[in-house]
Amino acid sequence: MRSSTDPSSTDPSSTDPSSTDPSSTDPSTDLTSADLSSTESTSAPRTRVVVLGAAGRDFHDFNVVFRDDPTHEVVAFTATQIPDIDGRHYPPELAGPFYPHGIPIVAESELTDIVAGERVDAVVFAYSDVRHEQVMHLASQAIAAGADFRLHGARHTMLRSTRPVVAVTAVRTGVGKSQTTRYLSRLLRDLGLRVVAVRHPMPYGDLAAQAVQRFATHADLDLHDCTIEEREEYEPHLDNGVVVYAGIDYERILREAEQEADVILWDGGNNDLPFFVPDLHLVLADPLRAGDEATHHPGEANVRMADVVVIAKCDSALQSDIEAVEASVRALNPTATVLRADSPVTVDDPSAVHGRRVIAVEDGPTLTHGSMSYGAGVVGARSAGAVAIVDPTPYAVGSIAATYVRYPNARGVLPAMGYGAAQIGDLEATIRAAVDAGECEAVVAGTPIDLTRVLSLPVPVVRARYELREVVPGGLAAAVRAALPAEVLERHTAAEGTTAPESSSATAARAPSVPAGSAP
C-alpha cells in the first residue's frame, strides 16, 4: 500500500511542454560526440550516466529521475531482450531541453566500451526478469570499466495518483498477470467503479508518437499499428470492456487516465515494479517455477513489497511446490496475505483440434525471458485430443529460427514473436511451411489475442483461453474492499446497490476447464 514506500508526491497538474512531432527526431543512429555532449558546459561537471534497459523501465526511470536534472547527463541507453531497439535514439521531443540531439540507444554488448571511452561515472540498471547473478555480472562489468553501479528503488520512480491504484505484478514473466488483471477489472466494475487499465510500456515503434496511447476499441490497435506483443496485452482488456493506456511518458499517461477512472489498474510487465504508488499491490507467484520468487530481479522486491501474493496455477502444480513457494513468500514478507488460485484453460472449438496434428503457439516473452517451455496452447491442445503437437523448429524461418537458437527451451512449440512486421511475417511463414509439408492440420493459439486478426493461415486457428479461479473464493474481493478508500466504495456501491463482487467474477471463472500448467 502507499504507506509502505511513501514516495515523493508528483504534481498532478504537471505537463510535458515539449512537442511530440515524430518528424523532428534526429534520424542518425551513430554514437557521436554531439550525442554524448548534448548540453552546454556548466560551472560544475555533470555526472555522466548510462542506463541499461529494454525499452520500458529505462525510459520511465530517465523521465522521472534524470530528464530535468541538471546535475546528471545520460549519455546512452543500452538495449537487450527486445529486438531492433538498439541503433535508434530516444527522441529530443521526449528527452527534454537538456538533450537537443536525443539520446542514443546502443546494444548492451557495448557497455564496457562506452563506460571506458566516454568517461561514464555511473551505470544504472533498469529492466526486469533477470537472475540476481546476471545483475551482479553487469555490476562487475561496470565497476571494472570504471563506473559506479546503481539500482533505482520505488521511492524515486513511482508516481502518485489522485485515484486509488491497484497494481498487479509478478515474480517472473508468464505467471498469470493478464488473467488476474481481467479478474480484478470485473471485480472492480461489479462494485460500480470506472476502471482504466494502464499497461507497462511496450514502445516498439515511433517513440515520439507513442508518448501517450489510449485504446478503447480494436480499431485503435490498428490505428497505432500495434505489434503482436502489444495486442497480447491490450486486446484482452478491450474484450473485457476496459480502456487501456500505455506509452512512454507515464506522468502524462496517468493524468489522462485519471480523468476517466475511479480506479487505476496497473497491469505490470515481466516482473517489473509498478510505476505508480499502489493502494493495493498484488503479486503473482508461480509453483511451476518454485524458488524463482527469490532468485530474479525485481521479482523478489515485488514479493517483499506486496500486500497480497497469489500463488497461481495451483491446479497443475505439485502440492510440495505450492507449499515451498508459500513458505518462501512468508519468509520474504511475513505480513503479506497469501492466496491460492487455479489457472484453468478452455478451448474454443475442441472438435477442430481433436484427432489432428497441431502447432501450439505460445506467448513469446513467457518462453524467452520467462524461460518456460510450454503454456496454455499445449495444455489446450492435449485436453482437446490433438493426436500430436508438431515441433515447428524444422520449419522455422528468419527471426523465429534465431529465437530457437537463443532460447532452445522454446523448441517444440511456436513462440508468438511479433515485435514488428518482419517477425509477424516469419511467424506466418513458419506455420505455412509446416502446413505445406503435411505436418500441421490446425493451430492452437495460447496467446491472449485472436491471431486471425494479424495472420492469414490455411488451417483452423483455435484459441486456448485461461482465467483466474480463486481456490477459496472471496479473498481478492476482501483485499480490494480493504484497500479502497471508504468514500469511493460508499459513493458507488451504496448508491448503486451493487452486489458482492465475487458473485459474478467467481462464477464466471468457474467454467469447465483443464489445468493451465499440466505437463505436456
Q: What is the pLDDT along the chain (520 residues), one digit of tens a residue?
A: 544 444 444 444 443 433 334 333 443 444 554 454 444 444 679 999 999 999 999 999 999 999 999 999 999 999 998 877 889 999 999 999 999 999 999 999 999 999 999 999 999 999 999 999 999 999 999 999 999 999 999 989 999 999 999 999 999 999 999 999 999 999 999 999 999 999 999 887 899 999 999 999 999 998 988 887 788 889 889 999 999 999 999 999 999 999 999 999 999 999 999 999 999 999 999 999 999 999 999 999 999 999 999 999 999 899 999 999 999 999 999 999 999 999 999 999 999 999 999 999 998 778 887 788 888 899 999 999 999 999 999 999 998 999 999 889 999 999 887 667 788 899 999 999 999 999 999 999 988 778 888 889 999 999 998 899 999 999 999 999 999 998 888 766 555 554 433 433 433 333 333 334 433 3
Terminal CA-CA length for the chain: 39
Residues β-bridged to residue 149: 123
- Per-residue model confidence (pLDDT) at position 451: 86
C-alpha cell at 23: 518528424
- Per-residue model confidence (pLDDT) at position 20: 38
C-alpha cell at 139: 555490476
Angle CA 104–105–106, to nearest 5: 115
Q: Write the CA distances from 274 to 56, 128, 143, 400, integer angstroms.
A: 12, 12, 28, 31
Of 373, 17, 311, 47, whose CA–CA distance to 175 is shortest? 311
Of 308, 307, 283, whose CA–CA distance to 296 is shortest? 283
Alpha carbon of residue 110 to chain centroid = 25
- Per-residue model confidence (pLDDT) at position 368: 81
Long-range contacts of 39-44 (CB under 8 A, 24+ apart): 39/73, 39/98, 39/99, 42/70, 44/71
**Residue 447 to residue 449: CA distance in whole angstroms:** 6
Q: Are 138 and 53 in contact (CB under 8 A)?
A: no
Q: What pTM was computed for the model? A: 0.82
473, with CB counted inside 10 A (0-12, 13-18, 19+), is: middle
494, with CB counted inside 10 A (0-12, 13-18, 19+), is: exposed
CB atoms closer than 10 angstroms to residue 42: 10
C-alpha cell at 82: 527486445
φ, ψ at 282 (rounded to 5°): -110, 130
**Residue 343 to residue 468: CA distance in whole angstroms:** 5
- Per-residue model confidence (pLDDT) at position 133: 98
